[in-house]
Structure 1
């Protein structure tokens, strides 16, 4: 019998580094260290991950690039739905975890792994996202979570690595960061005190441009096709271009307070220039191109879509149904949204769209009607008031 195989969801951080070494040395596993990249790793980081994985005792290191899959299977629907949790947080790294977990589960099945391991603690949401996805996508494969099960402290993990010759710098930082294509989340520091906000030095991106600039984002059926008249077929590159422009103004900073999956309140800071700019540009274009009830129902299902993503319910069968509705709603979301950027903020300017419902021949709001007469308007108003006139005719004492 050969060694058992374990796939470790390897980020290169302390918890997963400990997991790789411990399972290789203490449990004699054949360890496959896998970094699933959804757009948050740089080339240099992935190279370091590979080098360190082998130093830690991994049999094999693999990078799985699932950035395009993440866009096609979820990110574009978050744009279609203008998804902002609590009208604030663009569900940045948390939504990426699902696709990292799916890719890792898929790989574990391909190589016939006996187990999958991740480094999540027992106090956060990621343990649920990884475990639930593995249970559904890779049934029968054991899930190993050393940090959670052994209640390991940071010091215990560092001491173990150092004692076995791995001396990478895992100094305890004031803040922890998770960087992704859809934003960077920031935890720790002042965020642990409800009365305080993050100071300037907590953010990774700072103002480098002060003069105002125009940003034009062109959409076809709800998807980005051009940025400032530069065409993009690769949607990820379009997002990165917008992020580059917005980050120069430190746009997209905020803090979100919300309910975690495990039931406690959580507070996270973030900087997400591209999501904020794209969602508001998309929302602006929809105001011109969608009907009142299209916008209303999109708000409802978009909110549910974001909540299910955050709550680790991406695999719930209703999600493709919601995606189908969101996709259908985008058939006339065509045109260019125009924004004006400035340090720490932006404003919406207007749109240029062939499907602009504001350009109606029936009338201009507040100016002149062309599709009805004055008498017809008075008749419409009188009929519309009928239910209220009936009610207050019987209950005149309730008039305010």
Structure 2
């Protein structure tokens, strides 16, 4: 039999693929890539279910640290929020999952690789582009996309083959990861309906307020409330603290790679707090021109990542820029957690450019005289005066 690796999540689509491909004679090897959000018990359940689908082997790859180092770190450096809203929770992890899966397929000399994406979404582009770039000799198989299958058709097929796992009871599609959780349902297929409170995995457990001190070292989250750990562990800790206040919920509306608009709910408490806190620290520690150029560079980086262009060398070029910009982005940011939202109280940093001895904004200056200010303003206004004089009356 021909050896085939399937990107297996344990959901309906990948379960259909595993069963149907096994039935037609492929030697199916399932692999899941853990990019956060799964407990050890959940991973065991996914493995157990994979064997029920007829796979020959199952492997779970822990890629959380790799996910942070290769992607999330730069999303923080760039304060990346798609359409000023979405921290790229799913699109970012799909890139790492695709890379890990194709490397595994190559390691076991698989001739085929399969995924459960439909023909109407972004993931098909990300998976296919990574797969065909890193291993053009491995053929890509996509049963859901090729068969244009509906959810009900998949359910009926699995039940006919003795796989009944209460597929219809899952009203919402939930994708958990280190950088956030996406939530899709019938409401997100519309333009006007919000997701109900019950759709979000994290429910409100705390009221009142709670202060949290985030310490950044060269742009990376080094400690939470003085407790040092790896950045990915700090993200998990902050998410546990903030999700108890139901922080980080929103609905993202964006342009898909295939040209249609899409809408998805998400909760990303840690991601949104870290990005806002990091951005505040940058506003204190970076120059005006650093901030300006970072803004558009980060926007390009997020867009290219979303569009599946991670392997293009321009991404490494932008990462070098973003990394270098973090040299002085160190200090503490105080955040107050409240039900459903948070506030940024302030920062403390030895690199705070407000500490300069030239004066206080709007109050006093110590670095220049009144006459010097007048001369500066006169020269700065020269181009506007020339333009108005040349074009007045035309």
Q: TM-score range by the shorter chain?
A: over 0.9
DSSP-derived class of the 2:263 partner: strand
The answer to whether the aligner puts 1:291 opposite 2:287 as a matched pair is yes
Q: Residue by residue, what CA displacement relative to the aligned partner does 1:145-198 show, whole Å, maximum 9, x if unpaired?
A: 111111222233222222222222212533211111111111122222212212
Tell me the CA shift for residue 317 of structure 1: 1.2
Structure 2 residues without counterparts, runs of 5 or longer: none
Corresponding residue for residue 198 of structure 1: 195
How far apart, in 2, do the equivalents of 1:67 and 1:169 lie?
30
> In structure 2, which of residues 1, 6, 9 is the aligned counterpart of residue 8 of structure 1?
6
Tell me the CA shift for residue 51 of structure 1: 0.8
Corresponding residue for residue 256 of structure 2: 260
Q: Residue by residue, what CA displacement relative to the aligned partner does 1:311-356 show, whole Å, maximum 9, x if unpaired?
A: 1111111000000000000000010111111111111111010100
Q: Residue by residue, what CA displacement relative to the aligned partner does 1:117-142 show, whole Å, maximum 9, x if unpaired?
A: 11111111111111111100111101
> In structure 2, which of residues 316, 321, 331 is the aligned counterpart of residue 325 of structure 1?
321
Corresponding residue for residue 154 of structure 1: 151
> In structure 2, which of residues 218, 221, 224 is the aligned counterpart of residue 221 of structure 1?
218
The answer to whether the aligner puts 1:81 opposite 2:78 as a matched pair is yes
DSSP-derived class of the 1:314 partner: coil
How far apart, in 2, do the equivalents of 1:98 and 1:350 lie?
34
DSSP-derived class of the 1:139 partner: coil
Structure 1 residues without counterparts, runs of 5 or longer: none
The answer to whether the aligner puts 1:247 opposite 2:257 as a matched pair is no
DSSP-derived class of the 2:353 partner: coil
Corresponding residue for residue 138 of structure 2: 141
The answer to whether the aligner puts 1:18 opposite 2:16 as a matched pair is yes
Of stretches 386-395 and 264-273 in structure 1, the one that deviates more from structure 2 is: 386-395
The answer to whether the aligner puts 1:306 opposite 2:280 as a matched pair is no
DSSP-derived class of the 1:112 partner: coil
The answer to whether the aligner puts 1:38 opposite 2:59 as a matched pair is no
The answer to whether the aligner puts 1:69 opposite 2:62 as a matched pair is no
Corresponding residue for residue 357 of structure 1: 353
The answer to whether the aligner puts 1:119 opposite 2:116 as a matched pair is yes
Corresponding residue for residue 338 of structure 1: 334
How far apart, in 2, do the equivalents of 1:348 and 1:397 lie?
50
Corresponding residue for residue 231 of structure 2: 235
Corresponding residue for residue 89 of structure 2: 92
- Cα RMSD after superposing both structures: 1.2
DSSP-derived class of the 1:41 partner: coil
> In structure 2, which of residues 359, 366, 369 is the aligned counterpart of residue 370 of structure 1?
366
DSSP-derived class of the 1:358 partner: helix
Count of equivalent residues: 394
Corresponding residue for residue 168 of structure 1: 165
Q: Residue by residue, what CA displacement relative to the aligned partner does 1:46-78 show, whole Å, maximum 9, x if unpaired?
A: 101111111221111100111111110111000
How far apart, in 1, do the equivalents of 2:122 and 2:247 lie?
26
How far apart, in 1, do the equivalents of 2:162 and 2:125 lie?
32
